Structure 1
Amino acid sequence: MDAVTSRRYHAFADWARDSSPLYAEWATGIAGDDELTELIARLGERRGQPNLVFAAARWAGCGLEPFADWRERLVSAWDEVAAITAERRTQTNEVGRCATLLPPLSRIDGPIALLETGTAAGLCLYPDRYAYEYSSPGGEPLPAIVPERPDAARRPLLRCRIDDPDAAPGSLPDVVWRTGIDLAPIDVWDADAVAWLETLIWPGRVHDERVERLRTAVDVARADPPRIVPGDILDLLPEVAAESPPEATLVVFHSAVLLYLDADERRRFADLVSTLGQRVNRRVVWISNETAGTLPEIDGRMPRRVDTTGRFVQTVDGVPVALAGQHGATYEVSPFRP
């Protein structure tokens, strides 16, 4: 048994248990399986991610079955599954994350230029074109936020529970420019690529809404396709940032991207974005949604005894401000209040 893979899948099972019992069952089964942990270990760290392995298995025809039956299909289709992990990436373009990006975005004086690193299909580049419903911890609805556009009824509705009503946004940002950077951009008109994005969504009742939300967001993007620059964010960030309108505040943002970089690359990215305003001579705001442990300086600024399980630590210009649900369903600022 590969011990590193076993621990990785045990951790994933703990993370997925509440929202995707089937994925938790698969991960637990793999964690205790000598053959599967060895096979997955040979894929390497990037290709052996649970999200990617599970999506590749589904893409290869392994159905949503209990582990005992699914394992048999996985082993028989392993060569195809392994090939898929080499060809595709975990580009979970979760549009629901816009509900946790909107609070800090709404507090930035416009106009705003958006630059997303690791943008996939660019679906999170449209926070001003989605509708939002925030609710208090007790479930009481807050005033809805809806774009003033004639086709707003066909916009995704993003729901988010917020622990402090005063932290809820009151308006949509004034976005005048939007661009993304990605190693392997996804064309929203590519039906196969969009189907892969759907396959990356976990099975489970709480995730069913995400599939329809993705499809509706794709329709928004198809009506006004985003500009996505292919390439490495470490190479392209200053060049692309310099193309933004100088009169706009440039917002560089990302969600669950830095975990795919090694420690040295994360350090380079943080140093780059921290000095970006000086490089391109304009105001830059950096909004990050990443897991704890991504950057040591962020961890060092976290309040003590804050449980970050299953949530991003949201930072603005390197300062932790909230815990953001990884699919956008929750937003918590209380742990960061005096």
Structure 2
Amino acid sequence: MTISEEYVDFAAREAHGVSPAYERLALAVSRDHGLLALLATVPPAKRQPNLLFGVVRFLGGPVGDPAAFADYAVANWPAVEALLRTRATQTNEAGRCAVLLPVLAALPQPLALLEVGASAGLCLFPDRYAYRYGEHVVGSGEPVLDCAASGMRPPAVLPEVVWRAGLDLNPLDVTDPADVAWLDALIWPEHTHRRARLRAAAAVAAADPPLLVRGDVVDDLPALAAQAPAGATLVVFHSSVMFYVPTPRRRAFAEVVRGLPGHWVANESPGVLPYETLPTPPGVALHNVLALDGTPLAWTRPHGQEIIWFAEAFLRPRVTEPPHVID
């Protein structure tokens, strides 16, 4: 797609019905030849809407008015470009734990968790948060993660985690105000509940920091996985990360992770990882595919607000009431 088409696609599939402000901004940028020309000067991976909008928010620029946003971005392009090149969309959304939990809770316990693309490691604490699947509540901590669930029975218990580690090209530190400010800037403007969730999850991580290692998803994964304690089920997992990894490296990663002991849990957009068959996506909004060891299990929404189970095996799900989507 062209840069303009990428912004139109983002508006329609990701922001529509979720963030009116970002939907307006994305459509405005798609028609702004000046901004599109500036975006063309940075590498393709640095042109994405989430990153541009987050950088402007981080710098204190306006995101509520498209014209003011464009004026600010153009007038401050050297600063915007510098952050585009050095920062990444490390959206560390703890809410994604709600769609990972059904798989994690069903695996042999206890677990040794290893997240690829861990950012600040907030998704490494699925055992410390509380969850609300409609009327069904699991756990008692903070934050409480709301998730609409259909086609499955929500988990009854939290997993037992005895080791947690993350691998990232640029790990973030929840005790560093600048890193937390960057995570905050990546949260979409209207999502005050996600901002509160970030603060609560950051407090959990800061109280018991996980092992975060700076490294490559292929080259450095085996050595980190080897540190997992004996007697625990190793689970290598990732959410909305592989899109940013070049296709040849994705294949290499899949080969490496399949060769490790334990299990592989992927939560990525369709097309990022190859699957033989997938059911029709539920609507035009962007959904991820939740998979275990290469087998697709469910559709999920990117921030963990919904899971739609379609697999017949593994958890033997039963059909529940239609989901109420929580954005």
Give the structure 2 partner of residue 280 of structure 1.
none
Paired residues of 2:119 and 2:172 also in contact (CA < 8 A): yes
Residues 233-254 of structure 1 show CA distances to partners (whole Å, capped at 9, x for unaligned) of 1111111111101211100000
- Per the TM alignment, residue 27 of structure 1 is displaced from its structure 2 partner at its CA by 0.7
Query: Which has the larger share of helix?
Result: 1
When the two structures are aligned, how many residues end up with a matched partner?
Answer: 312
Q: AA paired with 1:20? A: S
Using structure 2 for the length normalisation, give the TM-score: 0.92
1:287 aligns with 2:274: no
Deviations 1:78-107 (A, max 9, x none): 111011111211100000000001000110
Corresponding residue for 2:164? 178
Within 1, Cα distance between the matches of 2:49 and 2:120?
21
Deviation at 1:301, TM superposition (A): 2.1
How far off its partner does 1:69 sit? 2.0
TM-superposition CA deviations, 1:11-60 (whole Å, max 9, x none): 01112011111111111011112111111121111111111111111122
What's 1:213 paired with? 197
The answer (yes or no) to whether the contact 2:25–2:63 under 8 Å persists in 1 is no
Q: Identify the residue that residue 239 of structure 1 maps to in structure 2.
A: 223
**Separation in 2 of the partners of 1:159 and 1:306?**
19
2:302 paired with 1:316: no
Sequence identity (%): 43
The question of whether the paired residues in 2 share the 8 Å contact of 1:253 and 1:288 is answered with yes
Aligned-partner Cα distance in 1 for 2:47–2:281? 31
* One-letter amino acid matched to 2:218: L
Map of 2:186 onto structure 1: 200
Pick aligned residue for 1:161 from 137, 140, 148: 148
Contact 1:100–1:324 at 8 Å: present in 2 too?
yes
CA distance in structure 1 between the partners assigned to 2:312 and 2:109 by the alignment: 26
For the aligned residues, what is the CA RMSD?
A: 1.5
Cα distance in 2 for residues equivalent to 1:197 and 1:106: 27
Instruction: Give 5+ residue unaligned stretches, structure 2.
Output: 314-327
Inter-partner Cα distance in structure 2 for 1:309 and 1:290: 14
Q: Structure 1 residue 123 and structure 2 residue 122: aligned? A: yes
Conserved? CA contact 2:62–2:68, under 8 Å: no
SS at match of 1:198: helix
- When normalised by structure 1's length, the TM-score is 0.89
Cα distance in 1 between the residues matched to 2:71 and 2:122: 36
Corresponding position: 1:271 with 2:258: no
The letter for the 2-side match of 1:115 is L
Instruction: State the distance in 1 between where 2:279 and 2:287 align.
Output: 15
The aligned runs of 1:294-309 (5 Å cut-off) are 294-296=272-274, 298=275, 300-304=276-280, 307=283, 309=285
Aligned in 2, Cα 1:294/1:308: closer, same or farther, shift over 3 Å? farther
Distance 1:41 1:306 in 2: 33
Take 2:165 and 2:303, find their aligned partners in 1: how far apart are those partners? Answer: 22
Offset at residue 337 of structure 1 (A): 4.3
State how far apart, in whole Å, the 1-side matches of 2:170 and 2:194 are: 22
- The residue that corresponds to 2:65 in the other structure is 66
**CA distance in 1 between partners of 2:69 and 2:128 (Å):** 40
CA contact (8 A) 1:115 1:179 kept: yes
Instruction: Indicate the residue corresponding to 2:301 in structure 1.
Output: 325
| Cα distance in 1 between the residues matched to 2:68 and 2:114 | 44
Question: How far apart are the structure 2 equivalents of 1:84 and 1:292?
Answer: 29
Whether the aligned pair in 2 keeps the contact of 1:303 and 1:336 (CA below 8 Å) is no
**Which consecutive unaligned segments of at least 5 residues does structure 1 have?**
136-140, 278-283
Task: Report the Cα offset of residue 203 of structure 1.
Answer: 1.2
1:12 to 10, 13, 16: 10
Secondary structure of 1:232's match? coil
Letter in 1 for 2:185: T
In 2, the alpha carbon distance for the partners of 1:304 and 1:11 equals: 19
Q: Structure 1 130/78 Cα, relative in aligned 2: closer, same or farther at 3 Å?
A: same
State the secondary structure of the residue aligned to 1:336. Answer: coil
Matched residue SS, 1:321:
strand
1:133 touches 1:160 (CA, 8 Å); kept in 2? yes
For the 8 Å contact 1:301–1:319, the answer to whether it is kept is: no
Out of 132, 139, 144, which is 1:146 matched to?
Answer: 139
Q: Is it true that 1:191 corresponds to 2:189 in the alignment? A: no
Q: Residue 238 of structure 2: which of 251, 254, 266 is its match? A: 254
**Residue-by-residue CA offset, 1:196-248 (whole Å, 9 max, x unaligned):** 100000112xx210000000001101110111011111111111111101211
